[in-house]
Structure 1
């Protein structure tokens, strides 16, 4: 099966059975099976131009909303938003471009496009 969409970033689940893709033109997070079958689509009004993407060891999906200046946490199925972890207003995000969870430091690390700051958020 061949799917065509604007792929910005992709990540693989820790178990290797799912592929997550940010589609920045349609403001979606897509979840595909290993064979390319579309399993789920996550859309949220707060997610504009999804960019950076990371899957945690617990299979939670972290997505950067570039234009909306948010970090969104989605479930392992890629079907629903669990939380908005960071925002421009609350946390000073400025076009988040990359995101990563560190289990060693229990923190989320965010790289930003328009400045040289890397933000680190401790999570409990």
Structure 2
């Protein structure tokens, strides 16, 4: 499901989220396979890219500051450090049922990660261990 800007679905920016302290803005740029971390003034603090995470779409920052990102083409969900510099963990992959991750959210009441999928009729729920 590789994308380029000649396709109908061309996204320079897919999602954005704010850090709990309000000092950082995270932005997924699917076409460039990047997660950008910006300061309040709009300056770029960090650019995250990983060949194992392609077409970054969904994004969520938990109340604790954990950054969760969906890789639509790579069919995975990862956690990135709060600086937006490096991958801390792969949370779910195709072997866990991830087919087209497009949105992600952490529910602190149920201690679970909820994943909405592109063109799939399943919403995935993963308990955090």
TM (norm. structure 1) is: 0.93
1:19-49 CA-to-partner distances (Å, cap 9, x unmatched) read 0000111101000001101000111111100
Q: Unpaired segments of 5 or more residues in structure 1? A: none
Structure 1 residue 115: deviation in Å?
Answer: 1.2
Say if 2:85 is the partner of 1:67. Answer: no
Structure number with the higher strand fraction is 1
| 1:77 corresponding residue in structure 2 | 83
CA distance in 2, matches of 1:54, 1:37: 21
Deviations 1:65-123 (A, max 9, x none): 000000010010000100010001x2111110100001111000000012111000000
Counterpart CA distance in 2 for 1:92 and 1:116 is 12
> How many pairs align?
119
Q: Which residue of 2 aligns with 1:8?
A: 14
- Runs ≥4 residues deviating over 3 A: none
Q: After superposition, where does 1:72-111 map in structure 2 within 5 Å?
A: 72-88=78-94, 90-111=95-116
Q: TM-score, normalised by structure 2?
A: 0.89
Q: Could you tell me which runs of 5 or more consecutive residues in structure 2 were left unpaired when the two chains were aligned.
A: 1-10
